[in-house]
Amino acid sequence: MFTFEQIKELIEMVATHDLQGLEVERSGFRVQVHGKGAPVAASPVVLQAAEPTVVAPTVAAAPVATAAPGPLPAAAEAEPEEVEGQVLESPIVGTFYAAPSPDADPFVRVGDRVKKGQVLCIVEAMKLMNEIEADIAGEITRIYPENAQPVEYGEPLFSIKP
């Protein structure tokens, strides 16, 4: 577990050395600190463990620490991909979940046919589970985020070909 002072030191290190980001893992807890100009998934400092999640207040305005289950996000400077179908975007900031529970099958997979109003995923925001429904009927051609990945408002979740 990280103390408040240790998190503050990580944030100060990123700020003083003008780093784009830093990730530290200790005893099953992972802390990511993103510097200025780096993509940020959320604004509070979040420590993530296997089971419980602890949220602490932000200690600095410039760099922000966030938790993510994977590595630091890469810069989105690649060529734009051709999208097959209509893109369903996240209506809120939160955590994307592909299934109703960790041991359940995902709501949908690539290639599945969906109906308008069918639940496609859950986006958790502040401990509230928000079901995201298909706005058109069609075939799922792509699922953008990985399970348990943070998503931003307006970030693509699915491509649906009518």
What is the pLDDT, as a whole number, of residue 139? 96
Per-domain residue ranges of the chain:
4-66, 86-161
Average pLDDT, the chain: 77
pTM: predicted TM-score of the whole model, two decimal places: 0.51
DSSP 8-class letter at 114 = E
What is the pLDDT, as a whole number, of residue 137? 95
What is the pLDDT, as a whole number, of residue 1? 64
What is the pLDDT, as a whole number, of residue 64? 52
| DSSP string covering 17-71 | TT-SEEEEEETTEEEEEE-TTS--S-SSEEEE-SS-EEEE----SSSEEE--SSS
What is the pLDDT, as a whole number, of residue 50? 41
Q: Which of 73-77, 94-98, 122-126 is predicted least confidently?
A: 73-77
Q: Give me the CATH topology for the region 86-161.
A: OB fold (Dihydrolipoamide Acetyltransferase, E2P) (2.40.50)
pLDDT tier, 149 (very low <50, low <70, confident <90, very high otherwise): very high
| Chain segment 2-47, per-residue pLDDT in tens | 777 777 787 887 777 777 777 777 766 777 877 776 555 544 444 4
| % the chain with pLDDT above 70 | 69
